[in-house]
Amino acid sequence: MFRDRTDAGEQLADLLESRGIEADIVVAIPRGGLPLGRAVADRLGAPLDVVVASKIGAPRNPEYAIGAVAEDGAVWLNDEVLERVSVPEEYLAAERENERAVAAEKASTYREGGRPDFTGKRVVVVDDGVATGATMRACLRLVREDDPASLVVAVPVGPPDTLDELEALADEVVAVDRPRNFRAVGAHFRNFNQVSDEDAMSYLG
């Protein structure tokens, strides 16, 4: 049980440091990933930026993620779910563009200018946890398109199956806790209050 996101970030930074992981840049997924990203970036002596993705919800059930799209249009679709749920191609194309615009707008809120170039860099992607990992997968695809020197996922908690699947998209996945009885990210924090945009942006200062 983590006290809050700052405590989780410090524990995550401890683990990354103990594994000898180095970074040229740390990117956090806003909003919840930024308190952790700040702790990790400070410990690794790297600049902190953001990478943004937005979930694509199922028809008539927008809370049920069938994929996610990053700010540059990099997309991850849950093929297993799409085989079970009938999703019209027109719906998928429209939602992909809608959510790309949402992600791009959010990214412009958090940073001035364009996104960083990850080419040849050691990149660590941080979030406050993963459940299905939809947004993380889209963000990893965005970073991977730039051909980074290395790509590391760093989270405090996530279910073992999701973390294992992320290994296929990253060079290494670092997690403080991999509980088999995982229910939700927030269940592993004593304080998991919402992070406002204003508070999140303060970590980038």
pLDDT, tens digit (0-9, with 9 covering 90-100), for 163-190: 999 999 999 999 999 999 998 999 999 9
In the chain, what percentage of residues exceed pLDDT 90? Answer: 89
Domain range 53-110, CATH architecture = 2-Layer Sandwich (3.30)
The pLDDT-based confidence of 205 (bands split at 50, 70, 90) is confident
Identify the pLDDT of residue 62: 85
The pLDDT-based confidence of 84 (bands split at 50, 70, 90) is confident
Write out the residue limits of the CATH 3.40.50.2020 domain(s) in the chain. Answer: 5-51+119-202
Q: What is 5-51+119-202's CATH number?
A: 3.40.50.2020
Write out the residue limits of the CATH 3.30.1310.20 domain(s) in the chain. Answer: 53-110
Contact in structure between 27 and 189 (CB atoms under 8 Å): no
Distances (CA, A) of 61 to 66, 85, 103, 131, 137: 10, 11, 20, 18, 21
Please give the model's pTM, rounded to 2 decimal places. Answer: 0.94
Which residue type occupies 24? D
Look at 2 and 86; give whichever has higher pLDDT.
Answer: 2
The pLDDT-based confidence of 63 (bands split at 50, 70, 90) is confident
pLDDT, tens digit (0-9, with 9 covering 90-100), for 103-136: 999 999 999 888 999 999 999 999 999 999 999 9
Identify the pLDDT of residue 114: 86
pLDDT, tens digit (0-9, with 9 covering 90-100), for 4-14: 999 999 999 99
The residues near 123 (Cβ < 8 Å, ≥ 6 apart) are: 23, 24, 25, 26, 27, 143, 148, 150, 151, 152
57 burial type by CB count under 10 A (0-12 exposed, 13-18 middle, 19+ buried):
middle
Look at 85 and 35; give whichever has higher pLDDT.
Answer: 35
Identify the pLDDT of residue 144: 97
